[in-house]
Structure 1
């Protein structure tokens, strides 16, 4: 496992979170971080007030710790990683103010830097925020893998900020530079669309998975949701826009449902979805921005519903699903159930067998399986 990062002539020890993930070969920084740090030190060494966007695990927070900075992320894990890695390197945590993706920005930054997010809609949202708050002439420098910087990416920057340039590639990374020039513009998010076969309207902020339509996994999972008239406690884990929990509120009219997601925009979308469709049932709901079920009381829930992701940032990995399953087992009461949907090829039944002793196949098609495991 490599944790020693050379950034701007300094060495930092950086870790990906969560620390207990099995795939420890993945680094907490990349060539785009290195390129960005070197460029800023060379071209913007006089910066005093910094805004950092999409710093996955704190590489940029550590490299620019001498500056007063606000750092924005939609990810709960990213925000935890900044604090962890700053402390790991004995750096001042008070210089950095963490902001979630929906919090307002200040208007006094003299430099904006960041990583280009995987989701172009989320980038569009962030650029509209910048167009509304940055002073004219404020420089912007974004970094990413060369393969992730398309003409459409550059066009977005030019649409909301001003004329943009790209640097030459280094180690398959590239920078986009621009200076704030354009007028303030409004974000097209959140968006909404009607759930097929229902009267429900789903609300979707910019960084929500499958933002523009119901993803096929959730669509299949909807056929296998629980029905109960008992006052049970349910978790919609990885809730996204809240579509699974929304349907479960109807099928389980006495249940209490806790919506949990690692994305701040997902949690906000789920809350707005319930407000839009079932406002009188809001008292049965709780909405939590969290790393899986960290900090939940053990043996306190009857059912966990989950459509787990198989990636973190740009890395394909199964550690999040594994953490979700482990956490679910801890919070379930004896006899409680974990019910999941997943791609057939991911072999989730083997993970559930290891944890719960066995699992039951509730349904399958050519692409997905729905599995149930009881504690």
Structure 2
């Protein structure tokens, strides 16, 4: 199915055909130049399977009415929106001819939708879900939106899993959800063929029970798991902790805490290591933002080097912000002043213009499986807006990404602080 731009909705919306109708979906934030869809063949395959339209279902639809449906890892809300707007089988059934109930003289009641529970690590994904529900004319409360840090439901009858890029995040979340799964729970995963590996299937089997895969359709595949509540899955191994190297400045030898799904959970990555060796020292009273904080090691190092600075950790991942808070508290104590926010870069609704002195940034250049500089550009523009005159943005990045070009265009200046064959540390000042 080819995406089709929908003039009546957002310029970047594409029409997603589900077994129950069509939806106009977008990613978040909405960008008219965006060429990436808010759904793919894996989302489509799973919904068709639920409706009994694939060979994998044996021609039978999955019973959903009256059952607690949990959707894990729904990237932009395609699955949640489709289920929240689909008429349930019970409410969509017309009265039989033998019914003695008097016919209603008023309009027929609208079929009640299912009420899925979405569990997501992504702030942007949750915002996209809210906007897609609103675009479909559905109240947000038709779906319950939880984060990966929230307490999961006590009972799950249908578990739908969009396989994440991070196998660690999948492991952590399956462990968290396993106590709510019972022998009758329907467990179905979905992903593109390139996203589902032997290790993915082994993880389902280890934590939930026997697992098999479907045939591939349009390069997408389903994971079909039969829960075994008696399975000895062992304890959840997350979060992980490790000590930093001894030659990286103020944070040398300190402990890092990584919740599942956070970048470089097992060791310090080489880009951050290079950045730590060249960080500026904040002055007392400076408001410093660790933007895209991940496990918080950069902001923690800045706080250790510059006592008296006010630290603010920001990431769009709930797992990352939880990691940053534990890393900071482990090294500076429970009462050290700092803020931890899950947000879209330096959202102007959250960060007042001219309210920040220093921004430290190691921007990602992937969004799920797609390579894109959209996130870095949004971070840079948000940093410029939030910085006071004379405030500075410090960035580390792969040399080949050419961030200096973007920073010069945006700030009018860019200084190379340090470089090696792979990475550069750049400094831009708001004039």
| Pairwise TM-score range, normalised by the shorter structure | over 0.9
State the TM-score, normalizing by the size of structure 1.
0.97
Task: Tell me the number of residue pairs that the alignment of Structure 1 and Structure 2 aligns.
Answer: 373
Name the CA distance, whole Å, in 1 between partners of 2:207 and 2:307.
45
1:105 maps to which of 148, 152, 158: 152
Q: Does 1:46 align with 2:64?
A: yes
Question: 2:44 maps to which residue?
Answer: 34
Larger radius of gyration: 2
Question: 2:110 maps to which residue?
Answer: none
Cα deviation 1:219-257 (Å, max 9, x = unaligned): 000011111443111000001111001110111111101
Superposed displacement of residue 109, structure 1: 2.1
Question: 1:18 maps to which residue?
Answer: 29
Q: Does 1:193 align with 2:242?
A: yes
State the structure with bigger RCO (CA 8 A, min sep 6), 1 or 2: 1
5 Å matches for 1:127-206?
Answer: 127-182=174-229, 183=231, 185-197=234-246, 198-206=252-260
Question: 1:64 maps to which residue?
Answer: 83
Cα deviation 1:148-170 (Å, max 9, x = unaligned): 21111111101111111111000
Question: 1:289 maps to which residue?
Answer: 342
SS at match of 1:174: strand
Question: Which structure 1 residue ranges, 4+ long, deviate > 6 Å from structure 2?
Answer: none
CA contact (8 A) 2:208 2:226 kept: yes
Question: 2:265 maps to which residue?
Answer: 211
Name the CA distance, whole Å, in 1 between partners of 2:285 and 2:394.
18
Name the CA distance, whole Å, in 2 between partners of 1:211 and 1:250.
21
What is the Cα-based RMSD across aligned positions, in Å?
A: 1.3
Name the CA distance, whole Å, in 2 between partners of 1:95 and 1:185.
35
Name the CA distance, whole Å, in 2 between partners of 1:351 and 1:371.
11
Name the CA distance, whole Å, in 1 between partners of 2:19 and 2:245.
52
Name the CA distance, whole Å, in 2 between partners of 1:254 and 1:277.
15
SS at match of 1:371: strand
Superposed displacement of residue 185, structure 1: 4.1
Cα deviation 1:164-184 (Å, max 9, x = unaligned): 111100000000011221346
Cα deviation 1:314-346 (Å, max 9, x = unaligned): 111100000000000000000100000011111
Name the CA distance, whole Å, in 2 between partners of 1:315 and 1:78.
15
State the TM-score, normalizing by the size of structure 2.
0.84
Q: Does 1:8 align with 2:19?
A: yes
